[in-house]
């Protein structure tokens, strides 16, 4: 069984030392879904705060760049790419975030943070219409690069 790398031999939390790791291209994509009633979906274009989908997209990109400020043991990374796709569907808003870097550690947390903050932004901009909006299905879709190799959710 693999051991968790964020703990030292005494069981204390620590930031992993990645200084000896090779810099390689690393990418990740993450997903979130904001479930809402059709009546709320219809109101999206008329939101007085602005376009919730575009604001969520920009919020997600900004969040990806701030991941290490939000999650204590994440390394600050120089992202070479961050993007968020936001799509309206029958039962809500699907969010797919992507991140990339050439560095010594992966960008899974950046992609997950982008997807989650984009979902929270959609909620924030629509909560006046319905407090029962649900953020669901937050997960890593895929990641590439690094010592552990590629991962693709099946």
Q: What is the 3-state secondary structure (H, E, C) of 36-54?
A: CCHHHHHHHHHCCCCCHHH
CATH at 119:
3.30.70.640
Q: Which of 83, 85, 124, 130 is catalytic?
A: 124
Domain membership of residue 6 (yes or no) is no
Domain membership of residue 70 (yes or no) is yes
Is residue 83 annotated as a catalytic residue, yes or no?
no
pLDDT tens per residue, range 35-54: 999 999 999 988 888 899 99
- Domains in the chain, number: 1
Range with top average pLDDT, 13-17, 47-51, 69-73, 116-120: 116-120
Residue 75 banded pLDDT, cuts 50, 70, 90: very high
Domain membership of residue 37 (yes or no) is yes
Query: Is the Cα dihedral 51, 123, 28, 82 positive or negative?
Result: positive
Domain membership of residue 16 (yes or no) is no
Tell me which residue range forms the domain holding 28.
Answer: 24-152
Domain membership of residue 14 (yes or no) is no
Residue 88, SS3 per DSSP: strand
Q: Smallest Cα–Cα separation from 97: which of 127, 136, 62, 51?
A: 62
Domain membership of residue 13 (yes or no) is no
Asked if residue 6 has pLDDT above 70, the reply is: no
Range list of H helices, the chain: 38-43, 52-65, 67-70, 108-126
**Exposure on the CB side of residue 22, measured as CA atoms within 13 A:** 6
Domain membership of residue 41 (yes or no) is yes
């Amino acid at each position: 069984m693999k051991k968790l790398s964020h703990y030292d031999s005494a069981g204390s939390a620590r930031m992993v030392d990645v200084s000896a790791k090779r810099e390689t291209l690393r990418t990740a994509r993450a997903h979130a879904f904001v479930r809402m009633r059709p009546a709320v979906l219809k109101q999206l274009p008329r939101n007085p705060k602005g376009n919730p989908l575009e604001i969520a997209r920009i919020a997600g990109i900004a969040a990806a760049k701030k991941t290490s400020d939000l999650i204590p043991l994440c390394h600050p990374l120089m992202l070479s790419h961050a993007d968020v796709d936001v799509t309206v569907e029958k039962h809500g808003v699907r969010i797919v975030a992507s991140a990339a870097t050439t560095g010594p550690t992966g960008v899974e947390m950046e992609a997950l943070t982008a997807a989650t903050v984009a979902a929270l932004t959609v909620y924030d901009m629509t909560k006046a219409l319905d407090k029962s909006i649900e953020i669901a299905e937050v997960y890593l879709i895929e990641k590439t690069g690094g010592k552990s190799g590629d991962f693709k959710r099946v």
